[in-house]
């Protein structure tokens, strides 16, 4: 565990340029700020209408449309990229659970986002929305910060191709009834959340943003 913390600290230093980042003192808010305040223009995953950076230790389990499911150190990350929401420049409304373990709404580069964490027994269910996409993951308490960093890196890296998306929409090539995979977790009241989302994809390139658990 100590080695993992040292590696994570090193990764954060590379990402943020900070000289005094400690996993033991880093807050959830700081973890988000440190990543989303950076310019992330590196990509290694290319899909129809958008591209993004997939942390290199993320392995694709399955994908369907704009849904992707990755696994990293036994933790499954579910990604859904809402291309139609981007096209319409509308963020779907999510009613955040007020008695959750943690809630944070934020705005970076003019893009709204939120983090909602629900605790169920020894597990924490993270739901992070930013840049017209959502990631969900179930983790232990010690892995919350690391998962937030990974998720923030991926979400902030998504770059949409307006010309391609315009073509897809105008030719009805984007399904409005796209099925979204469901993350198994604590079920909430209908009015508390919309349905859980999921899934992900793969590719590799030379220029890579430093990963939290990789030392060059």
Residues of the chain whose pLDDT is less than 50?
1-25, 186-210, 213-216
By C-alpha distance, which of 59, 57, 198 is closest to 137? 198
In this predicted model, what pLDDT tens digit does every residue of 83-99 receive, in sequence order? 999 999 887 666 676 67
Q: CA 82 → CA 7, 61, 76, 188, distances in Å?
A: 33, 20, 19, 22
In this predicted model, what pLDDT tens digit does every residue of 103-114 receive, in sequence order? 988 888 888 999
């Amino acid at each position: 565990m100590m080695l993992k913390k040292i590696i994570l600290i090193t990764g954060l230093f590379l990402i943020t340029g900070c000289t005094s980042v400690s996993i033991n003192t880093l807050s959830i808010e700081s973890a988000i700020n440190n990543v989303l305040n950076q310019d992330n223009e590196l990509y290694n995953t290319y899909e129809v209408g958008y591209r993004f950076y997939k942390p290199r230790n993320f392995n694709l389990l399955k994908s369907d449309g704009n849904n992707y499911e990755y696994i990293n150190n036994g933790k499954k990350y579910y990604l859904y990229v809402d291309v139609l929401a981007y096209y319409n420049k509308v963020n779907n409304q999510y009613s955040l659970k007020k008695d959750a373990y943690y809630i944070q709404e934020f705005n970076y580069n003019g893009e709204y986002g939120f983090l909602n964490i629900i605790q169920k027994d020894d597990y924490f269910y993270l739901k992070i929305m930013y840049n017209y996409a959502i990631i969900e993951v179930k983790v232990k308490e010690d892995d919350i910060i690391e998962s937030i960093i990974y998720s923030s890196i991926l979400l902030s890296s998504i770059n949409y191709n307006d010309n391609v998306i315009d073509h897809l929409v105008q030719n009805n090539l984007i399904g409005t009834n796209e099925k979204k995979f469901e993350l198994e977790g604590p079920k909430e009241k209908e009015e508390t959340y919309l349905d859980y989302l999921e899934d992900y994809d793969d590719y590799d390139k030379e220029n890579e943003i430093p990963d939290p658990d990789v030392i060059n």
